[in-house]
Structure 1
Amino acid sequence: MTTAPARSGPVPAQSSRLSSNRRPEPRQPSYQLAFARTPEDVEAAQRLRHQVFADEMGAVLDSPLPGLDADPFDEFCDHLLVREQPSGEVVGTYRLLRPEQARRAGRTYSDTEFDLARLGGLRDGMVEVGRSCIAAAHRGNGAVINLMWGGIARYMTATGNAWLAGCCSVPLSDGGTTAAGVWDAVSAKHLAPPQYRVAPLRPWSAEGVVRAGRTPIPALLRGYLRLGAWVCGEPAYDPDFDVADLYVLLSLERTDPRYLRHFLAAAADLPISAIIGGTSGAPVGASTGVPVGAPAIPAIPAQATAPAAGPGTATAA
Structure 2
Amino acid sequence: MLRSGMFSPRNLAKKFSPVARPKPPAAGTDWPTPLYSVFNRPRLSLGRIGPLEVRLARNFTEVRKAQRLRYEVFYEEMSAIADAQTLASRRDADPFDVFCDHMLVIDHSSLKRNKLGRLKPEIVGTYRLLRQDVADRHGGFYTAAEYDIQPLIDANPDKRFLELGRSCVLKPYRTKKTVELLWHGIWSYVLLHKIDVMLGCASIEGTDPDRMASTLSFLHHNARAPEEWRASALPDRYVEMNRIPKENLDSKAALKALPPLIKGYLRLGASIGDGAVVDHQFNTTDVLIIMPVSELNTRYVNYYGADASRYSS
Is the structural similarity TM-score above 0.5? Answer: yes
SS in 1 for 2:92: coil
Answer whether contact 2:218 2:249 (CA < 8 A) is retained: no
Q: Which of 106, 124, 133 is the equivalent residue of 1:100?
A: 133
- For residues 243-266 of structure 1, the C-alpha deviation after alignment (integer angstroms, 9 at most, x for no partner) is 111001011111122201323489
Answer whether contact 1:83 1:89 (CA < 8 A) is retained: yes
Is 1:258 matched with 2:299? yes
- How far does residue 224 in structure 1 lie from its aligned partner after superposition? 0.8
* RMSD after superposition: 2.6
Answer whether contact 1:179 1:244 (CA < 8 A) is retained: no
Cα distance in 1 for residues equivalent to 2:104 and 2:211:
30
Q: How does 1:1-317 map to 2 (within 5 A)?
A: 30-62=51-83, 64-65=85-86, 66-87=89-110, 88-120=121-153, 121-122=155-156, 124-139=159-174, 141-172=175-206, 175-176=208-209, 179-201=212-234, 202-205=237-240, 214-215=253-254, 216=256, 217-264=258-305, 268=309, 300=313
**What is the letter of the counterpart of residue 70 of structure 1?**
A
- The alpha-carbon distance between structure 1 residues 44 and 212, as it changes in their structure 2 partners (threshold 3 A), is farther
- How far does residue 163 in structure 1 lie from its aligned partner after superposition? 0.3
Answer whether contact 1:63 1:69 (CA < 8 A) is retained: no
Cα distance in 2 for residues equivalent to 1:63 and 1:171:
23
Q: Which has the larger radius of gyration?
A: 1
Cα distance in 2 for residues equivalent to 1:208 and 1:223:
23
Answer whether contact 2:221 2:242 (CA < 8 A) is retained: no
Answer whether contact 1:29 1:84 (CA < 8 A) is retained: no
Structure 1 spans left out of the alignment, 5+ residues: 1-27, 272-299, 301-317
- The alpha-carbon distance between structure 1 residues 122 and 224, as it changes in their structure 2 partners (threshold 3 A), is farther
- The alpha-carbon distance between structure 1 residues 208 and 40, as it changes in their structure 2 partners (threshold 3 A), is same
SS in 2 for 1:248: strand
Superposition TM-score, scaled by structure 2 size: 0.71
**What is the letter of the counterpart of residue 86 of structure 1?**
S
- The alpha-carbon distance between structure 1 residues 146 and 208, as it changes in their structure 2 partners (threshold 3 A), is closer
**What is the letter of the counterpart of residue 167 of structure 2?**
S
Cα distance in 2 for residues equivalent to 1:183 and 1:92:
27
- How far does residue 59 in structure 1 lie from its aligned partner after superposition? 0.4
Answer whether contact 2:131 2:162 (CA < 8 A) is retained: yes
**What is the letter of the counterpart of residue 232 of structure 1?**
G
Cα distance in 2 for residues equivalent to 1:63 and 1:80:
27
Structure 2 spans left out of the alignment, 5+ residues: 1-48, 111-120
**What is the letter of the counterpart of residue 82 of structure 1?**
V
Answer whether contact 1:154 1:264 (CA < 8 A) is retained: no
Cα distance in 2 for residues equivalent to 1:37 and 1:269:
23
SS in 2 for 1:203: coil
Cα distance in 2 for residues equivalent to 1:235 and 1:35:
30
Cα distance in 2 for residues equivalent to 1:63 and 1:35:
29
SS in 1 for 2:80: coil
- How far does residue 54 in structure 1 lie from its aligned partner after superposition? 0.6
SS in 2 for 1:161: coil
Cα distance in 2 for residues equivalent to 1:230 and 1:84:
32
**What is the letter of the counterpart of residue 73 of structure 1?**
F
Identity score, percent: 33
